[in-house]
Amino acid sequence: MKIEKIEFVCSSPSLKFCPKEDIPEFAFIGRSNVGKSSLINMIASHKGLAKVSGTPGKTRLLNHFKVVSVISKSPGIPNPGTSAWFLVDLPGYGFAKLSKTQREKFEGLIQNYLQKRENLALTFLLIDSRLEPQKIDLEFMNWLGDNEVGFIILFTKTDKLSKTQLTSNIATYQKSLSSSWEELPLIIPTSAETKLGREEVLEAINNVLSDISAG
């Protein structure tokens, strides 16, 4: 899939202010220090699209970016079609420096979007590849599963690890998940620095758009 155009549309404080346009949405979410903005910019090939901050947790609204891309509706078809969709940058979870009231507000915003946004097609859950499985991430995955929110795990910052370390950390995560998941979520290793995983993420989006178009 090739991105032809991408532009910022709006930042919404709640679900009712989100764009009314009925096109598929692909959401990106992770803990507040996982490197989400940098990864979004890498995937979009647009350095300043999502605001990168040295202070974790700066994304506190639902940020919609409209994308126009060329997709191949099925393998082998020589004439790809054009499709419009939203890339949605969600607030991070696990705000360490927020009050309980503020934390509950943002958690409610996230949950409301993920549960009720009808045109949400797929969620990408960002996980820091350098860390052992974190309780807050595992709990969030279980919440997604309980609420039937389809998601793919994106391991971030893989350039900070050796191939052996990355393989070991992925295996550790899969083992941890296998205790409560019959079918494990797909894991895509990524790096905003080396652009690892960009094509795989776009392919996942392409496949969903193709299925929607075919359906």
Into how many domains does the chain fold?
1
Q: Is residue 108 scored above 90 in pLDDT?
A: no
User: Does residue 163 contact residue 201 with C-beta atoms inside 8 Å?
Assistant: no
Q: Higher pLDDT residue, 99 or 128?
A: 128
Q: What is the pLDDT of residues 185-214, one digit of tens each?
A: 999 999 999 999 999 999 999 999 988 877
What is the torsion angle, in degrees rounded to the nearest 10, for the CA atoms of residue 17, residue 21, residue 27 and residue 31? -10
Q: Is residue 25 scored above 70 in pLDDT?
A: yes
pLDDT of residue 197: 97
Please state the rounded mean pLDDT for residues 130-134.
94
End-to-end CA gap in the chain: 19
What is the CATH number for 93?
A: 3.40.50.300
Poorest-pLDDT segment among 2-6, 100-104, 138-142, 171-175: 100-104
Which domain range does residue 83 map to?
2-214
Q: Is residue 111 scored above 90 in pLDDT?
A: yes
Please state the rounded mean pLDDT for residues 15-24.
95
pLDDT of residue 192: 96
pTM, 2 dp: 0.91
DSSP string covering the chain? -EEEEEEEEEEESSGGGS------EEEEEEBTTS-HHHHHHHHHT-TTSSPP-SSTT---SEEEEEEEEEE-SSTT-SSPEEEEEEEEEPPPB--TTS-HHHHHHHHHHHHHHHHH-TTEEEEEEEEETTSPPPHHHHHHHHHHHHTT--EEEEEE-GGGS-HHHHHHHHHHHHHHHHTT-SSPPPEEE--TTT-TTHHHHHHHHHHHHHHHHH-
